[in-house]
Amino acid sequence: MISLKALKPGRFNWKEFLIRRMMIILLGIMIVFIAINRPVFLTTDNLLNVLRQIAVNAVIAYGMTFVIITGGIELSVGSVVALSGCVTAGMMKYYGMPIPAAIAIGLLMAGIAGFVNGAIIAGFKVPPFVITMATQTICRGFAYVFTDGRPIVELPKLFLRIGRGKVGGEAGFLPWPVLIMLMIMAVMCLLLYKTKFGRYIFAVGGNEDAARVSGINTKKVKIIAYTLCGLLAGIAGILLSSRIDAGQPQAGVAYETDAIAATVIGGTSLSGGVGSMYGTMVGAIIIGVVNNGLNLLAINQYYQMIVKGMIIAFAVIVDTFASKKYK
């Protein structure tokens, strides 16, 4: 039995609102605690560092949010990150392409990867978990084949500005990755909350049969969702490779975990139909704050893993509580 509220996306329903508040409260408590113990946490430098450090994950998570709202999952994003980074790097270094063209090709590869996922899932009705697990290895394989196993290094200096520069050049303040992350979030919010497509995403996730029966082309919606996810992973891959000045075939391993975590912490339900782009942003920030805070507090790195996992578990438990109550 689903609630009507789940079928009326675009407005904040109870569940979303409550959960989002819960996570923001958690975030607030963490920030206060860390700031009391390590005032340096609140310096602009550190806060910008945190935002810059989460940019890659946040961008991937935005795409993941679309996919999870449709009731699916995307495990190959980490490999797409590697593939797009390597292809872009290779185009610039070995084929002498200008940066925009190289980026376009990298994104094209990422989009194709996403499209293939979506097409197989929509067309053959294979469980997304299984198929994206397969494309995860296939994509990474392509990355290794393309680079012959070696990282592609020493990329054009201008390209590195994307991951390392600030808006306004040397004297600037806002790192480019942060601006890119915010711009993409704005676009994704528009897409999810203000367009027909966005409403269809919620519909398909809430009840696929009802959606199909009411005239929505569920296959098309899914394919677009997965392609979008691939594209965003591609952008993340380019951000990453410009940050580390390398197209590495081994990059992005396990990045899907953090992306899913951000999405889930943000209130998007793994069973589909409900989700929030703002929530995903909050989720990504929580992960970044946890990583940064635990580092600053010099907590033993192995405990860091445990704490991070506990927070994710907590978020999922809260999510399940609330969806039982509000669905």
Partner 1 sequence: MKKFFAIVLVLVLIVAAAGCGGNATEQLDAPAPTTDSTAQVMPEGDSGDKQLVVGLSMSDDTQFLSNVRKAAEKKANELGIQLIPNSGQNQVEKQINDMEAFITMGVDAIIFNPLDRNAMDEIVDKVKAAGIPLVEVNTFTSNENYDVYVGSPEEDAGRIQGEWIRKNLGDSGNLVIMYGQMGHSGQIGRYEGLKQALLDPCPEWNVLVEKTGEWKRELGQSMMEDWLLTYPDQIDVVASQNDEMAMGALAALEAAGKLDDIKVLGIDASPDAVALVSEGQLALTVFQDSFTQGSTAVEVAVGLLNGETYPKVVDIPFREVNPDNAEEFYAMLKEWE
Q: Which residues bind partner 1 (CB under 8 A)?
A: 18, 22, 25-26, 29-30, 33, 37-38, 40, 43, 45-46, 49, 53, 56, 149-151, 153-154, 160, 164, 240, 243-246, 248, 250-251, 253, 291-292, 294-301, 303, 307, 310-311, 314, 318, 321
The answer to whether 274 touches 117, Cβ cutoff 8 Å, is: no
For partner 1, the closer of residues 33 and 129 by Cβ is: 33
For partner 1, the closer of residues 38 and 327 by Cβ is: 38
d(CA 19, CA 182): 22
For partner 1, the closer of residues 45 and 209 by Cβ is: 45
Name the minimum Å distance from CB 250 to partner 1. 8
Name the minimum Å distance from CB 24 to partner 1. 12
How many residues make up the chain in this entry? 327
Six token digits for residue 327 = 């669905």
For partner 1, the closer of residues 24 and 126 by Cβ is: 24
Name the minimum Å distance from CB 232 to partner 1. 17
- H helices within the chain, ranges in order? 4-7, 14-37, 44-69, 77-94, 99-124, 128-147, 157-164, 176-194, 196-206, 208-213, 218-244, 255-265, 277-296, 301-326
For partner 1, the closer of residues 10 and 154 by Cβ is: 154
Count CB neighbours of 178 within 10 A: 21
The answer to whether 249 touches 85, Cβ cutoff 8 Å, is: no
Six token digits for residue 316 = 């999922």
Name the minimum Å distance from CB 52 to partner 1. 9
Name the minimum Å distance from CB 191 to partner 1. 27
